[in-house]
Amino acid sequence: MIEHEVLDAGLGGADDDDDFEMTEEADAQLPDHRYLDRELSWLAFNQRVLELAEDPALPVLERANFLAIFASNLDEFFMVRVAGLKRRIVTGLAVPTNVGRAPADALADISTEAQRLQLRHAEAWTSLVRPALVDAGIEIVSFDSLAEDDRSAMYDYFHAQVFPVLMPLAVDPAHPFPYISGLSLNLAIRIRNARTGRQEFARLKVPPMLPRFVPLPTVGESERYIAMEDLIAQHLDDLFPGMEVLDHHAFRLTRNEDVVIEEDESENLIQALEAELLRRRFGPPIRLEITDDMDEVTLDLLVKELDITTQEVYRLPGPLDLRGLFDLGRIDRPDLRYKPHVPTTAMAFQPGDNNERADIFAAIRKSDVMVHHPYESFATSVQAFLEQAAKDPHVLAIKQTLYRTSGDSPIVEALIDAAEAGKQVLALVEIKARFDEAANIVWARKLEKAGVHVVYGLVGLKTHCKLAHVIREENGVLRSYSHIGTGNYNPKTSRIYEDFGLFTADDQVGRDLTRLFNELSGYAIEKKFKRLLVAPLHLRKGLLRLIDRERNNALAGKDARVRIKVNSMVDEQIIDALYRASQAGVKVEVWVRGICSLKPGVEGMSENITVRSILGRYLEHSRIFSFANDGDPVTYIGSADMMHRNLDRRVEALVRVAAPAHVKELEDLFDRAMSDATSSWHLGADGEWVRHATDDEGKPLIDLQDRTMASVQRRRRARAVR
């Protein structure tokens, strides 16, 4: 298994019993009810996304996009978190939540809050975003409002483009109730047989491959669209000739789609995963969304046939499945979007005087290079690094982890090119990356066919670290070039996810990565790393020691501060260590995007802890860990969130940032994020997040992401002048 000593941080050995004695003694001084419910905290995060959709100061097509993001987020929450709770209840493995709630009670809490948020979501569309779109010349119209010419055009479109792919399924003694796929949008239809007078039921799936919103002929300067389910509903008579259509209602089902694999070292992991992916399609139902006008007869039939409880039924005003608003992204109205931002090339990687492509290796040899995506380009840094490595005749080997990547990945193509050029190439493909499993299986097989050595990591662990390691021969000596990042090797998400990456030719990091890849691909058991903190065994221990050192510094009157930026803050040991540091007078600043189970501002426990959250056009995704260390800062970046799964069940890696300029860049970013002059959400001790977007005079506060964009652009212009 993975072990290490954090030598360069001066943390001593990995198994210091005194630390654990201190922890037990300190825990007795902390109150029992010191955490926030993690599931309700996640729902609070999605509420923050919804608040962006409700914000009239944002461009209206971006607001529509945030409505779609909210819907997509909530779907995944039900498919994974709610499904997990329900599974544990059904299997009898139910254990209390992180705040001591019984899982059944937690499900009831989630149901109540999710219902409230979904109603607020629907209201935001109906009363805020849709009218704002109309004002901007974009209308989602109902079929009933159409003039005769438009109806005729839609009739022709329906029969040419929609009717041939529809599959109405009857339910009667000869036709059992059909399988309802997860997240599909459906129409429940009641019809009467004109010959017998008998009422029947039919189900019609809205084909997901068709556009959700169908364009209508332009009237004046307005763009008009009609929802696909509305168009289909108005032509049901054509689908059921000889029958009388009595009523129809939309509904949508969410299933348990979390993949659970019982791994065995003798088992073929890909085959096991493929079998589990097939079972995923038939996971048990966990949520039924219906329109608020659905009659009780139809609802009773659905509840009975789907074997779902009334608590799992969500009655909502239409339209259902507002993920469909992603389709509005096709509308060519740049005036209704964020101003475009073109990522700059990091200064170290910018072309030379003759506009020649930069020599990536020469730049890294000169000094460590830190890049900040999407403000700085992924294509001219990470992608260029791997593409140059693939073509360079002096490069002997490339080793890389792949957790999520895009469908047309130039990263994968570079690895294939390298293998075909005769280089040694190792790709550690995490085929268990949730909801990307099928795509990763495809890429794994493609890589294997090209001669890449493909491995799947360690049994029982997901490999979540973001590592690339290149071995190059230079004057008869082998030199390592390394990249350690906070985000995936995905060119598409790199344009919308905020992440850091560190390039270095440091020998210590090179040796660390050589040892780590040997452990991941073979049977090596490594116990010492120099500039890395690695999970699952000792990343938590290393962070706890770093936090405790700040506590001791504060008690000794020395400079002490802890700054942590993560997606989620849940792990109880880390939270308790931060509470103890706060009690000793350490200023603790936590910048979290999503879940936060820590209670800040509680007298006697966490009055020195501040928690902020920032959401915007980019998804805040980087992880940063900074410790004052009495004036000699210790700063790490990497892949790990403060969750049990990251610290206990994943291979994660943090790298220490060594260059003072890079440490300062991270500190400056934190200064801006935590400033009261910056727009953000503030977490209170009661778990409520309050948005601070304007000052006392009503003027907008600073947008951190806009400010960072401007800062990067200024650095580029300053270099151009020189």
Catalytic residue among 121, 464, 483, 538: 464
What would the mean pLDDT of 564-585 be, rounded to a whole number? Answer: 97
In angstroms, rounded to a whole number, what is the distance separating the alpha carbons of residues 47 and 37?
A: 15
Alpha helices (H) in 92-235, listed in sequence order: 103-123, 130-135, 148-157, 228-233
Q: Please, what is the average pLDDT of the chain?
A: 88
| Residue 688 or 28, more confident | 688
Where residue 282 falls among pLDDT bands split at 50, 70, 90?
Answer: low
| Choice among 330-339, 360-369, 529-538, 546-555 with the minimum mean pLDDT | 529-538
Q: Are strands 243-255 and 477-485 parallel, antiparallel or unpaired?
A: unpaired
Relative to beta strand 313-316, strand 285-291 is: parallel
- CA-based nearest residue to 290, from 276, 267, 306, 266: 306
Least confident of 59-73, 414-428, 457-471, 682-696: 457-471
Angle, in degrees to the nearest 10, between helices 103-123 and 60-77: 160
Mean of the pLDDT values across residues 330-351?
93
- The residue assigned the tokens 């000596």 is 477
Residue 680, C-beta contacts closer than 8 angstroms, at least 6 positions apart: 612, 613, 614, 673, 691, 692, 701, 704
Residue 113 has pLDDT above 80, yes or no: yes
Query: Which of these ranges, 96-100, 170-174, 267-271, 590-594, has the smallest mean pLDDT?
Result: 267-271
Answer whether CATH 3.30.870.10 is correct for domain 347-530. Answer: yes
pLDDT(337) > 90: yes
Averaged pLDDT for residues 498-508: 97
In this structure, how many other beta carbons lie within 10 angstroms of the beta carbon of residue 686? 9
Average pLDDT over residues 138-149: 93
Hey, do 347-530 and 534-721 end up sharing a CATH topology, with the first three levels equal?
yes
3-state secondary structure of 454: strand
Higher pLDDT, 406 or 389: 389
**Tokens 């778990």 — which residue?**
687
Q: How confident is the model at residue 275 (pLDDT cuts 50, 70, 90)?
A: low
pLDDT tens-digit series, residues 217-265: 877 778 999 999 999 999 999 998 888 899 999 999 999 876 554 444 4
- Cα separation, 608 vs 585, whole angstroms: 7
Region 168-183 average pLDDT: 80
Averaged pLDDT for residues 313-324: 93
3-class DSSP state of 704: helix
pLDDT of res. 279: 53
pLDDT confidence band for 179 (50 / 70 / 90): confident
Whether the CB-CB separation of 197 and 203 falls below 8 Å is answered with no
Least confident stretch, 96-100, 173-177, 316-320, 506-510: 173-177
For the chain, the domains span 60-336, 347-530, 534-721
- Sheet with 609-613, edge to edge strand ranges: 532-534, 653-656, 634-638, 623-627, 561-566, 587-592, 609-613, 680-683, 689-692
682 is catalytic: no
Distance CA 111, CA 98 (A): 18
Q: Please, is 453 exposed, middle or buried when counting C-beta atoms within 10 Å of its C-beta (0-12, 13-18, 19+)?
A: middle
Average pLDDT of the residues in 576-583: 98
The arithmetic mean of pLDDT across residues 551-570, rounded, is 97
pLDDT of amino acid 265: 41
Given this structure, which CATH class describes domain 60-336?
alpha beta
- Whole-angstrom CA distances from 106 to 70, 100, 489 are 21, 9, 36
Is 423 in contact with 398 (CB distance < 8 Å)? yes
Tell me which long-range contacts 13-21 makes (C-beta under 8 A, separation of at least 24). Answer: 14/527, 14/537, 14/538, 14/541, 16/545, 19/541, 19/544, 19/545, 19/548
Average pLDDT over residues 580-594: 97
User: Any idea how long the chain is?
Assistant: 722
- Is residue 638's pLDDT more than 90? yes
Average pLDDT over residues 102-110: 89
Task: In whole angstroms, give the CA distance from residue 341 to residue 321.
Answer: 30
**Spatial contact of 109 and 39, defined as CB atoms under 8 Å apart:** yes
Nearest to 468 by CA among 434, 441, 432, 502: 502
Specify the pLDDT at position 581. 98
Q: What is the mean pLDDT of residues 180-191?
A: 92
Confidence of residue 278 (pLDDT cuts 50, 70, 90): low
| Cα–Cα dist 622/616, whole Å | 14
pLDDT at 467 over 60: yes
Q: Is it the case that residue 206 has pLDDT exceeding 70?
A: yes
Instruction: Say what the pLDDT of residue 440 is.
Output: 66
Write down the residue that tokens 């936060």 correspond to: 596
CB 404 within 8 A of CB 494: no
What is 534-721's CATH topology? Answer: Endonuclease; Chain A (3.30.870)
Confidence band for 90, pLDDT divided at 50, 70 and 90: confident
Select from 666, 713, 716 the least CA-distant residue to 341: 713
Where residue 542 falls among pLDDT bands split at 50, 70, 90? very high
pLDDT tens digit sequence for 16-37? 333 444 444 444 489 888 999 9
Q: Which two tokens stand for residue 63?
A: 């607001």
pLDDT at 18: 39
- Taking only the tens place, the pLDDT of each residue in 366-393 is 999 999 999 999 999 999 999 999 999 9
- Taking residues 504-520, report their average pLDDT: 93
